[in-house]
Chains A and B, each alone.
Chain A
Amino acid sequence: MKLLSRPEELFLLAIWRLQDSAYAVTIRDQVNEITGKIWSFGATFVTLERLVQKRYLTSYLSEPTQKRGGRSKRMYKLTREGIKALLDIKKLQENMWDDIPRLFLSAEKK
């Protein structure tokens, strides 16, 4: 099982959330909002590109819009592998988290 890195996970989640309106600008906004820090465009593009290469994402071009100076958006969409990878990592994390409250959180309460 391949593991996603944290930024990758964040980006995939953001795209999932955004559904049909996921493209670089919205994705970056979303991630900025959640993490509370500014991601540079460079970092955004690199991560997106890597995810496409890993086949977790596909991209397609939208109709051009006026706001973008008449240019198309490159829209991103999760592939089945992408969804699977997200679910995998979620499951993994849940498994890891499962016992922790019982063992330590209670102990901390003491």
Chain B
Amino acid sequence: MKKKPIPGPPRLAERLLKRFFPDQGIFSTIGDLEEVYRNIAEEEGTARARLWYRMQAFKSILSYFKHQFVWSIIMFKNYLFFTSRLIKRDKFHYFLNFLGLSTGIACCMIIILFLRNELTYDQHHENADRIYRISSNYVTSGRPLLYAVASPALGPRLKEEFPEIEEFVRIFPLPEMLFVYGDKRLYQDKIVFADASILRVFTYPLLQGDIETCLKDPNSIVLTETLAQRYFGDEDPLRKVIQVENQDDLQVTGVIKDPPRNSHIPIEGIISYSSWQTDQQSVGVSMYEPSDYTYVMLPERYDLANFYEKYPAFYEKYCKIDEESYGQVYKLIFLKLKDIHYNTVGFRFEMPLGNRSYLYAFFFIGIFILVLACVNYVNMATARSSTRVREIGMKKVLGSGKKDLVFQLLGESLLVSFIAMVFAYGAVLLSLTPLNQLLDLNLDNRMLFNPVLIAAVLGLFLLIGIVSGIYPAFYLSSIRSVTAVSVGFSSSRAEVRIRRILVTFQFVISIGVIIITLFMSRQIEFMRNRDLGFKKENVISIRLRDNDVIQKIAAFKQELIQHPDIISVATGIGQPGTPTTGLYKFEGRDGMEDHNFWVLWAGFDFIQTLGAEIVEGRDFDPGFSTDPQKGIIVNETLVRFMGWDNPIGKRITQGTHTDGHVIGVVKDFHFASLHNKIEPILIRMIRGPENNLPGSVPSNLMVRLKGQPLTNTMRWLEDRWNKFNPNRPFVFSFLDESFDRLYDADRRQNRLVEIFSYICIILSLLGLLGLSSFTSIRRTKEVALRKVLGASATQIVLIMFREIFFLIVLAIVIAIPVSLVFIDMWLGKFAYKTGINPLMLGATAIGAILVAFLTASYHSIKAAHANPVVNLRYE
């Protein structure tokens, strides 16, 4: 016959056929096909045969799928139909279910958003792994003195000495500045001086301008998109000139994309470093004068040990000369870029940092809420089992396998959680903006459409659907069909116990959270009302950042003091709440000692304006002409720290240019937040224009008023201000408000826990509702019998409540110690704190019992008023 062997049928088609028609591994069908294939091949050629074979495969597989699909649709329709009928019949329960699950999912979504935002801090920089910030440790008398910043000379010097350092960047954040372009005049913060290398080291994609030249020349500025848009609208921003007060005009040389907000250095504009100082100037600065955030980019997998090995030589060359005069040993601290946001080193001049415990709290809250929501679903699903058993039993009788039932029930919970997810998505979309403001979260709306988040939410939905569905699914499907269709089905004891444990657990969480919330707000209230040692009320702090007024400050003060409502006026640098620090020499028992204490700079009448009290010596006095140069006031803590018996007249010096002595002792007052104990502080005078001396200038003017600040007084003040300088806006703050702002983080936490507690309360009440409905169904007959035997409705409600009452008492007993541990931890960061109030605990407990009673009574009253005849007639 034929000599040439016929090639076999197409491989792929054959493999597919084998896959879809396994035929117990015999493949006789496929054998048939192959035989025909060979016949065709012999008669009409291989090509036709192969085509035919492929067609056969295609046709059979297609119909296989069609089959599968049609049947699964039919089944799915059936399931959907069942579920929708259930939902219709049990609207109330399903509503509670949706509510609980949606809340849970929505919370989790927000938490996912938050965690994602927090955990990706600074990670948008492509070289993030290789960028280190170099911070300074000036070892003073054996104790470390840590600064986040370093000398401007450090960067260039390091690059000279260490060839492995690829780039260095110095960043100096500027205080708010007034930008003027055309008729737009705005105070602008988040502006920095930075080396041109910032654009190469960090990832700030340039939209316009040239990366090599845009930050080269002095007085160049690179703006973010948003800022450029704000000043120039649709005009081309390049080469536009922005006027800045007290500085040279800035020319826009580039525009960068808005950087993500989760960066530890918030940047809206970059001014070329050379606008501040030339390279020659900056390398001349001593290593002991830290001012710039200094970053270096190292090669990949660089071992820092190499650096430290060579550091002593570097130290010898650049630092040794100043070691003597500063009395400090200078050490470097490398911090990876990604680690900066969460470092707990406690640097001075640190950027606002994140708090890891906040993250953990958020994470656990997320888990808690999820668990609560799932527990609710499980509770309700099993509670409804008594109504479902008959359906399940009937299905079993009609030949439905256990597997089908599990799938059906799981599908149901997936459907419910899917609907809940859709609701949750909408809720998050709507609530993100207000929530951002409330909790100061800085979450980006666009993140909601991030594929990662969507994937995470889908995962969450699956997780919730399966976790909460799996127990009811297996539980219900394992009911024996005979029991199920017979009338007297009741759940097992173990079943009841599980449900009780779940509800108790929910109550432990909610009661605990309520207690924590209450204590937190109590502590915050306590801090607001505590006597700070000065009177923070009725003090206005006017911002001075303007030479015109500063030069005429004495006259301005004179003018203000005329007003009948103004008691006193004083200048200052910083104010309580925002002191600075400084290294001084103090007269000790054995000569002069170096100490780095807090410093407040003040003008005359400062103590009086604050409302603090002098306990020894005197206040600054214009009558003593030496005061601006030599007078120093210290607080009691400083006196105690130094062990001075007679503090007046003790010498305090700094470097070679300050030679002062103590003229007075002020009673301890809280110049910082109540997180901290009162520390030693010294108050010295601003020399400045007020005293016709060169030197520092005041940054703010504090005005004490007789009573509450009135609109009229404020208007009058503004009027005076405008008279002295019409070009600058009148910017002021109230001292008490800015002091309160020190507790913003705590208040935020409190608010967060508060919201969490509301959600917990809602969820656990839902759980309780589920439980009580379950109990009342389970005890229908008991209740009916009691009624028949003469029990009143009130008695029945009380009997029904007894069970829940015990659970709640148990929950309270567990929740109180647990929450007290948490409270103790939280209060640990405050130096001054409230005690624990047993009354508050009692009130919470009673409240919980009451609310639980009200919730549970919905079902028990319904049960108590049901007609016993209806419930007993089956017997």
Q: Is the CB of B63 within 8 A of A42?
A: yes
* Chain A residues, CB < 8 A from B35: 25, 67-68
User: How many of B's residues come within 8 Å of A, CB to CB?
Assistant: 19
Interface residue? B549 (CB, 8 A): no
* Chain A residues, CB < 8 A from B36: 25, 28, 41
* Chain B residues, CB < 8 A from A24: 28-29, 32
Interface residue? B26 (CB, 8 A): yes
Closest A residue to B63 using CB positions: A42
Q: Is the CB of A42 within 8 A of B32?
A: no
CB distance from B232 to the nearest CB of A (A): 72
Q: Is the CB of B32 within 8 A of A68?
A: yes
* Contacting residues of chain A (81-103) with chain B, CB-CB under 8 angstroms: none
Q: Is the CB of B34 within 8 A of A23?
A: no
For the complex, what is the distance from the CA of A109 to the CA of B9, rounded to whole Å? 57
CB distance from A17 to the nearest CB of B (A): 18
Binding site of B, secondary structure by majority: helix, strand, loop or mixed? Answer: helix
* Chain B residues, CB < 8 A from A73: 28, 31-32
Interface residue? A50 (CB, 8 A): no
Given known contacts A23-B32, A25-B32, A25-B35, A71 and B60 CB-to-CB distance under 8 angstroms: no
For the complex, what is the distance from the CA of A19 to the CA of B32, rounded to whole Å? 18
Interface string of B9-40 (1 = CB under 8 A from A): 10000000000000000111111111110110
Closest B residue to A69 using CB positions: B34
For the complex, what is the distance from the CA of A42 to the CA of B9, rounded to whole Å? 18
Closest B residue to A71 using CB positions: B31
Interface string of B24-68 (1 = CB under 8 A from A): 001111111111101100000000000000001001100100000
For the complex, what is the distance from the CA of A8 to the CA of B682, rounded to whole Å? 111
* Chain B residues, CB < 8 A from A64: 31
CB distance from A76 to the nearest CB of B (A): 11
* Chain B residues, CB < 8 A from A41: 32-33, 36, 56, 60
Question: Could you say which of B30, B33, B34, B35 has the most chain A C-beta atoms within 10 Å of its C-beta?
Answer: B35
Closest A residue to B27 using CB positions: A71
* Chain A residues, CB < 8 A from B28: 23-24, 61, 71-74
* Chain A residues, CB < 8 A from B33: 41
Q: Is the CB of B59 within 8 A of A72?
A: no
CB distance from B19 to the nearest CB of A (A): 16
Q: Is the CB of B56 within 8 A of A71?
A: no
Closest B residue to A68 using CB positions: B31
For the complex, what is the distance from the CA of A27 to the CA of B613, rounded to whole Å? 115
CB distance from A42 to the nearest CB of B (A): 7
For the complex, what is the distance from the CA of A64 to the CA of B26, rounded to whole Å? 10
CB distance from A86 to the nearest CB of B (A): 24
Interface string of A19-50 (1 = CB under 8 A from B): 00001110010000000000011100100000
CB distance from A91 to the nearest CB of B (A): 33
Interface residue? B8 (CB, 8 A): yes
* Chain A residues, CB < 8 A from B59: 40, 42
Q: Is the CB of B32 within 8 A of A72?
A: no
CB distance from A46 to the nearest CB of B (A): 11
For the complex, what is the distance from the CA of A40 to the CA of B32, rounded to whole Å? 12
Closest B residue to A70 using CB positions: B31
For the complex, what is the distance from the CA of A23 to the CA of B36, rounded to whole Å? 12
For the complex, what is the distance from the CA of A90 to the CA of B463, rounded to whole Å? 65
Q: Is the CB of B31 within 8 A of A72?
A: yes
Closest A residue to B6 using CB positions: A67
* Chain B residues, CB < 8 A from A68: 31-32, 34-35
Question: Could you say which of A25, A42, A45, A73 has the most chain B C-beta atoms within 10 Å of its C-beta?
Answer: A25
* Chain A residues, CB < 8 A from B39: 25
* Chain B residues, CB < 8 A from A28: 36
For the complex, what is the distance from the CA of A72 to the CA of B27, rounded to whole Å? 8
* Chain A residues, CB < 8 A from B8: 69
- Would you mind naming 26 contact pairs between A and B with Cβ atoms under 8 Å apart? A23-B28, A24-B28, A24-B29, A24-B32, A25-B32, A25-B36, A41-B33, A41-B56, A41-B60, A42-B59, A42-B60, A61-B28, A67-B35, A68-B32, A68-B34, A69-B8, A71-B26, A71-B27, A71-B28, A71-B30, A72-B28, A73-B32, A74-B26, A74-B28, A74-B29, A74-B32
B residues apposed to A, CB below 8 Å: 8-9, 26-36, 38-39, 56, 59-60, 63
A residues apposed to B, CB below 8 Å: 23-25, 28, 40-42, 45, 61, 64, 67-69, 71-74
Counting from the closest, the 3 A-B pairs by CB-CB distance are A71-B31, A68-B31, A74-B28
A sample of 13 more A-B contacts (CB under 8 A), given A41-B33, A67-B35, A73-B31, is A23-B32, A24-B32, A25-B35, A41-B32, A42-B59, A42-B60, A45-B29, A61-B28, A68-B32, A68-B34, A72-B28, A73-B28, A74-B28
